[in-house]
Structure 1
Amino acid sequence: MGFGSVLLVPDQTLNKNLLEELMDRWSCERKGFELPLGLVKVTMMDVALVLGLRVTGESVVLEGDVPFLGIEKFYGSSVEKRMISIASLEKRLKSLDLAVNEDFIRTFLLFTFGTFLFPNAYGTVDSRFLLYMKDLDKVPLLAWGRAVLQDLIKWMDRRKEDENEKYMGSCLILLQVWSYEHIDIARPIVPECYAPFPRACRWQNSSYRFRQWFTTKFDGLNREQIIWKLEPTPEEKKVDIIFELLDLENDAVEVPSPSEHSSKSVIVVDDDNLTNGFTIPEDILECGVLEVDLTKQSVLVVEDDVDLLCTSKCATNNIIDSCKCAIDAIPQVPKVLQLVGLGYSVWFSYRYLIFKDNRGELLAKINELKKEIIGED
């Protein structure tokens, strides 16, 4: 059904202090973890590699006015409260015994959702998931991994915005293994594993540490301790869901014609964490939305929060050459921009640099651009 990788994940003990440290650094606005060296996000590739779940395909969306189905009533849900208790699902599984039929498959998937992939504070699972299980042949083709990530983000937003929120739902094993993969803090020993995929199979439980220990370690992070972007291994690239995601990312890169470039071009950047490790002229304000003007002093390109600064020393009349020069000048930058066309993926777009002398005018322009380009309010 597309969830076989979940069965491979070994027993894990959640590291509460590690998770709390991470979640306290979550930014609801920027949808990432604000570390001293920059913003790190949980990506679709991260989910696919860690849990082995499909992130491409039709979305699983539970919001909105979804008609109540008879099959929901069959599993104990109602129009007023579209929830199914985990206890009833467990009881139902025991009654089905070894009968592997459609009822067993739906019940087992709902039980998995409620206990591992989409847990909540109430010991229930949303019955609207059954809408996507009417035709079981379509279940493996849905983007379940994307739904898990959206659920995790929703819970982290809720926790950060409501100080009285005491419970954290969602798939915290994903977040914990994501931390091991990206950040070299409290990483357990990687065992010799019979199943290298998904990556959640690689990690044993970590040792207990006090909360203050984590705070100190995170505050003192250096660049060598962070992997900004996970790259699949040659073996992982052969896995269907990884291959499809890579193919989709490649298709998303658009190559504009040379006529689209001028001495004043615009390049995407990510929010306001722009200058770590580099120097930007004082007359440029760090606003997260930057206009590139080669008559000024610099060109700035950011990919996955890795900052590239091209100063006037290597600026040319061609913005592409300038950006290439910036990348060549910084040896620690990993595989980054596919510069032919100023694009790497659908996340790249056009934005502006703000200078002190016309800040008000350009701030107004920014709001227009956000709506036009990335749909932000």
Structure 2
Amino acid sequence: MSKTLLRELCFRWVERRGGFWIRSIFVPFTRLDVYVSLGFRVAGENIDLGNNNIDCQTRTIFHSTNVSVDMIYDELIKRANGSKQCSIDEFCRLYILLGLSEFLLPNRSGRVFLGLFKIIDNIQCLHRYDWGGVVYDYLVGSLCCASMSITNKGNSNYFCIVGCVYLLQMWALEHVLFAKTKGQSRCAKFPQILFWKDVKFPDSGVASTLQKNLVPLTKEELHQEVVKEALKEPCSGKKGKTKKIRELAEIVKENEALSRALDHQAAVIGTLEKVVSRLEEVLAEKENQEKGEPNLSNENHVHKD
């Protein structure tokens, strides 16, 4: 994992909007990115990582209050070399627990979240849970803390991000950085980790690449109408590499201005609707009064006669 890339992303993280400022462009980082990158669903039952319910089968494998990733490795090795007997179901539960604790939900202490044990007991029901959501929330929470630490302390050499940090690298490669290397061509795979796991990420030149606002485009994408509209000139196969990307910052500003104008118009329309509603009420009250009260001018006229 590129520490330089993590540092640059921390600098550019915008907590209130949930994304990154890449030069003058805001690029969101959402739960959908977890689904596309890792293939985990972003809906289902919530996962409480802090649930300390020890009344579960997987938890009884360990004889310690706190279970670490190293302890899971030890148990797996014992079962793999035959020194300890176990069922296939038990081995699978330990293997899945290791993947969750080592890759998706790691922390600095290397401890396993107690809330995972109860869920792992029934591996046939793992599909019911919101794995993408918990991976996203855990990573974003750590990203917010790291970004605040770098911004406030001004020391970019010491920061810590826990969670699936490889997800951030895949996101950057897919959305921002040029991913093509010598002898490699970009292809569509789902989830995206099937492609990016074999791509070596160069640690040098990350900051300058982010500042140049580079966007990776395949030949197929260059021929899409939406992409063509974002380019200054219509792209062609031979000149595709020399085409300059349109200033997306101007598009963002225009969209934000239109959004503000729409919000203002909606507010004005809402106010006018209230005024019209009030006028209708006043008119109805006046009509009711005229129907219920006698005409004083006619009474006075009859009295004089």
Range of TM-score over shorter length = 0.5 to 0.7
TM-score for the superposition, normalised by structure 2: 0.62
- Structure 1 contact 190–202 (Cα < 8 Å) conserved: no
Q: TM-score, normalised by structure 1?
A: 0.51
* 1:278 paired to 2:254: yes
* Partner of residue 295, structure 2: none
Residue of 135, 142, 166 corresponding to 2:122: 135
The 3-state SS of whatever aligns with 2:125 is: helix
Matched, 1:170 2:163: yes
Say which of 26, 37, 41 aligns to 2:28: 41
- Please, which runs of 5 or more residues in structure 2 have no aligned partner? 222-248, 271-305
Which residue in 2 is equivalent to 1:151?
A: 138
Change (3 A) 1:277 1:193: closer
1:206 to 195, 200, 205: 200
Give matches, 1:330-341, under 5 Å.
none
1:188 to partner: Cα distance: 4.2
Partner letter of residue 101 of structure 1? I
Secondary structure in 1 aligned to 2:160? coil
Higher relative contact order (CA 8 A, sep 6+): 2
The Cα of 1:30 is off from its aligned counterpart by: 2.0
Structure 1, gaps ≥5 residues long = 1-13, 232-272, 297-318, 320-349, 351-377
> Which residue of 1 is the match for residue 246 of structure 2?
none
Deviation at 1:91, TM superposition (A): 0.7
Amino acid paired to 1:57? G
1:289-344 alpha-carbon deviations (Å, 9 max, x no partner): 97231798xxxxxxxxxxxxxxxxxxxxxx9xxxxxxxxxxxxxxxxxxxxxxxxx
Correspondence for 1:62? 49
Verify the 8 A CA contact 1:75 1:84 in the aligned structure 2.
Answer: yes
Displacement after TM superposition at 1:16 (Å)? 2.2
Alpha-carbon distance between aligned partners in 1 of 2:93 and 2:15, rounded to the nearest angstrom? 34
Tell me the distance in 2 between the aligned counterparts of 1:189 and 1:199: 20
In structure 2, distance between residues paired with 1:85 and 1:144 = 21
Q: Distance in 1 between matches of 2:64 and 2:28?
A: 36
Q: 1:191 to 1:52 in 2, by over 3 A?
A: farther
Relative to structure 1, the CA distance from residue 188 to residue 199 in structure 2 (aligned partners, 3 Å threshold; closer, same or farther) is farther
> Match for 2:254: what amino acid?
F
Which one has a bigger Cα radius of gyration?
Answer: 2
Q: Secondary structure, in 3 states, of the residue corresponding to 1:167? A: coil
Matched residue type, 1:293: Q
SS in 1 for 2:21: strand
Counting only pairs closer than 5 Å after superposition, residues 1-377 of structure 1 correspond to structure 2 as 14-63=1-50, 66-71=52-57, 72-78=59-65, 83-97=66-80, 99-163=86-150, 166-185=159-178, 187-188=180-181, 191=184, 196-203=189-196, 204-210=198-204, 213-221=205-213, 225=215, 276-278=252-254, 291-293=263-265
Q: Within 2, Cα distance between the matches of 1:220 and 1:198?
A: 28
RMSD of equivalent CA atoms: 3.7
8 A Cα contact 2:49 2:114, kept in partner: no
Identical counterparts, % of pairs = 23
Distance 1:219 1:126 in 2: 38
Deviation at 1:36, TM superposition (A): 2.7
